[in-house]
Structures are given as structure tokens and as C-alpha cells.
Structure 1
């Protein structure tokens, strides 16, 4: 399925997604560490759930069918 976006635009979108993922999770881990370090590591839920979506995004951008 073609979206009409160039390879450069697709990679830029992926880069933004990765940066948002990293920044958001650094913030979540810092908040956990500051306020609830003795409790369950609750940022894990977001890391895994968002990580699955990010993995699909990476796969979609790097898919060989994308280049054809």
C-alpha cells in the first residue's frame, strides 16, 4: 500500500517516533524512581505496549515491499 510519502519522510517520521518513545520513557522512569522506587516498576506497561507499536512502525518503514 503506497501512501505517497518519500523514503526520507518515512524515516523522519520513524525518527520522531523513536525520539518521543525514548524521551517519554526516560521521564516515566525518573518519575517512578523519584516517587515509587520500592513498588512495582509500572513504566514497564508503557515500555512494552508502546514498544510493540514502535516495532511495527520500524518493520513497516524497513520492509522491502515498501521500496518496490
Structure 2
């Protein structure tokens, strides 16, 4: 049986995910603006696809079990 994650572990995991999502997608947008502004906004694919995963992570965070509950 797996031990339950602590509150700090839940928060760290979510904020880490948000940090890398923002950093990576901002970098892609900057690359798009500087290298290919006249081409279709290709960072959209990453923003939407990864955003879906981030949405699931946020939902899991909000509905996580509390420590000590069965």
C-alpha cells in the first residue's frame, strides 16, 4: 500500500507543473514571434494539449484526499 502524499508534496507537484507549463510555452511563443511570425501560431498545439493535462492536474489537486481520512 502506498503512503499518502503530504500537503506539501501535492502543492509542490502542482506548482512545478504550472511553472514548467508557463516557462515552456512562453519560450515557444517568443521563438514563434522572433523566427516565424508570419506562419500559423504553432505554439497553440502545445498550449492546448499540455493545458488539458494541467487542467486534470488542477482537478486532482482540488479533489485530493485529505491526510488522515479513509
TM-score by length of 2: 0.86
Greater share of helix: 1
Q: Which has the higher contact order (CA 8 A, sep 6+)?
A: 2
Distance in 2, Cα, partners of 1:37 & 1:4: 47
Instruction: Give the alignment's Cα RMSD to 1 decimal.
Output: 1.4
Unaligned runs of 5+ in 1: none
Large movers: runs of 4+ above 3 Å: none
How many correspondences in the alignment? Answer: 66
TM superposition score normalised by structure 1 = 0.89
Question: Which one has the largest radius of gyration?
Answer: 2
Q: Unpaired segments of 5 or more residues in structure 2?
A: none
